[in-house]
Amino acid sequence: MNFLEERILKDGLVKPGNVLKVDSFLNHQMDIALMDEIGKAFYMRFKDKPITKVLTIEASGIAIAYPVARCFNVPLVFAKKSKSVNIDGDMYVATVESFTHKNVNQVIVSKKFLSEDDHVLIIDDFLANGCALQGLISIAEDAGATVEGIGIAIEKGFQIGGTVIRNLGSPLESLANVDAMDAEKGTVTFRKQ
């Protein structure tokens, strides 16, 4: 069992509806030492790739992607979820449905920050149905960039996203892959890595 799986067992909360709450250390309040460790873990898994940019999506993805970009010494680009009046018209756009928030967002990245010269490592905190990741991959492909890999902190292995994303062809690494949760017993079972 790795450091993230141990932390999930210690501080994660299982709620009805297959909700895993990790908001005390990962995606509302963040334990920065844990985040730095996550950054190093992804660096170890992808350090042989010629990464030029780390790409994530707001908001909680930023805190996972920051230490990864730091390890690779490359810029961090985060996709935004809705059109801002401060953003130029010249951008890549993908339409993404959020399972969590029950809505549809435009995911956007300025064309200035991704190009065909880029080798992108995509990072996010959760993978469930994979829609947000599909949006990020679509944007990287629109830019002509190479998606060298995808790093996920927590994958819900019992949902469809992991299969959908792996079928798209880029190497996907999740630090913790949840096979099953039981809200009544409060238990989490991880897939063996």
Q: Is 93 in the site for its own copies (CB under 8 A)?
A: no
Of 1 and 58, the one with the shorter C-beta distance to its own copies is 58
- By DSSP bridging, strand 172-182 and strand 187-190 are antiparallel
Q: Is 47 in the site for its own copies (CB under 8 A)?
A: no
Tokens representing residue 193 in the block: 């890595």
Q: Torsions phi, psi of 13, nearest 5?
A: -125, 130
Size of the site for its own copies (CB under 8 A): 39
**How far apart, in Å, do the first and last CA atoms of the chain sit?**
9
Contact (Cβ atoms closer than 8 angstroms) between residue 146 and residue 169: no
Q: Is 97 in the site for its own copies (CB under 8 A)?
A: no
Q: Is 102 in the site for its own copies (CB under 8 A)?
A: yes
Q: Is 170 in the site for its own copies (CB under 8 A)?
A: no
Question: Could you say which of 77, 131, 140, 147 contacts its own copies (CB under 8 A)?
Answer: 77
In a 3-state reduction of DSSP, which class is residue 82?
coil
Q: Which of 42, 67, 56, 48 is nearest to 176 (CA)?
A: 42
Contact (Cβ atoms closer than 8 angstroms) between residue 98 and residue 132: yes
Question: Could you say which of 44, 87, 104, 160 contacts its own copies (CB under 8 A)?
Answer: 87
Question: CB of 155: closest distance to its own copies in angstroms?
Answer: 17
Of 22 and 150, the one with the shorter C-beta distance to its own copies is 22
Q: Is 145 in the site for its own copies (CB under 8 A)?
A: no
Q: Is 46 in the site for its own copies (CB under 8 A)?
A: no
DSSP state of 192: P
Burial of 163 by CB count in 10 Å (0-12 exposed, 13-18 middle, 19+ buried)? exposed
Contacts with its own copies, residue ranges (CB under 8 A): 19, 21, 23-24, 28-33, 35-36, 58-60, 62-63, 66-67, 69-70, 73-78, 80, 84-87, 100-102, 109-110, 112-113
